[in-house]
């Protein structure tokens, strides 16, 4: 049983300080742990956090896309709040290691890890209200990914292959604080190096690929 829960460490990573730290611990308490040691598990928080996440993302979409139809927005939202997107957000924050679980790490699957993003949202919402929960989602959610519905990395590789060139090489570096990281990706092809910057490795690499592809295509005109 973990006696000293790392409240301060987690608060630094997520960028929010709790008035009621019991909510934070509840957000990280898996049902297997609660069944053995008592206390509340985080399943109800997952339900609440999902609702808050859906609202924030929908509001973000509504403001960003002035003319998009409902079907387009729905499909886009599904992508932004899917298990993969939430898992990536949790991994970027580095908070999965704090999950309180009993019975071994075999009980910690991808769904369990991804749901941590929703339980943390719920904890922040219950402690501080909608505004800080929204700020957390906009800061740490994978909303940037929407800007790259086109796979620029794939397009760049196809372009180079079509020219008989070697595939591009990527080097990505992380900087900044854990709760607000910046990734800088450098892509090299045909002896040219171009950078891209983003809030995740994926976004930075897609941005770099986009920049290099545009440079190569424009140089041929």
Query: Catalytic: which of 46, 88, 118, 205?
Result: 118
In the set 50, 76, 145, 205, the catalytic residue is: 50
Q: Is the dihedral of CA 8, 17, 135, 79 positive or negative?
A: positive
DSSP percent split of the chain into helix, strand, coil, nearest 5: 60, 10, 25
Cα 194 to its chain centre, rounded Å, is: 24
Q: Is 50 a catalytic residue?
A: yes
H or E element: which one contains 42? Answer: none
Six-digit token string for 133: 């929960």
- The answer to whether the Cα torsion of 37, 40, 27, 101 is positive or negative is positive
Distance in angstroms (rounded) separating the CA atoms of residues 152 and 205 = 9
Q: How many CB atoms lie within 10 A of CB 61?
A: 18
Q: Which residues are catalytic?
A: 50, 118
């Amino acid at each position: 049983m973990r006696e000293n829960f790392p409240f301060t460490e987690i608060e630094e990573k997520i960028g929010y300080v709790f008035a009621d730290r019991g909510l934070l611990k509840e957000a990280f308490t898996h049902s297997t742990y609660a069944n053995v040691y008592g206390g509340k598990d985080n399943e109800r928080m997952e339900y609440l956090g999902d609702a808050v996440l859906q609202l924030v993302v929908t509001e973000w979409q509504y403001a960003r896309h002035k003319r998009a139809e409902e079907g387009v927005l729905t499909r886009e939202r599904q992508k932004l709040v899917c298990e993969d997107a939430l898992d990536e957000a949790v991994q970027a924050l580095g908070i999965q290691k704090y999950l309180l679980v009993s019975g071994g790490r075999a009980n910690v699957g991808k769904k369990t890890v991804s749901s941590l993003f929703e339980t943390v949202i719920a904890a922040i919402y219950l402690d501080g209200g909608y505004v800080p929960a929204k700020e957390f989602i906009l800061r740490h959610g994978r909303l940037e990914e929407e800007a790259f519905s086109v796979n620029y990395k794939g397009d760049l590789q196809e372009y180079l292959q079509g020219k008989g060139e070697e595939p591009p090489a990527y080097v990505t570096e992380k900087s900044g604080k854990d709760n607000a990281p910046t990734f800088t990706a450098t892509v090299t092809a045909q002896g040219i190096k171009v950078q891209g910057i983003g809030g995740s490795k994926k976004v930075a690499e897609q941005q770099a690929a986009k920049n290099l592809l545009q440079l190569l295509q424009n140089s041929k005109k």
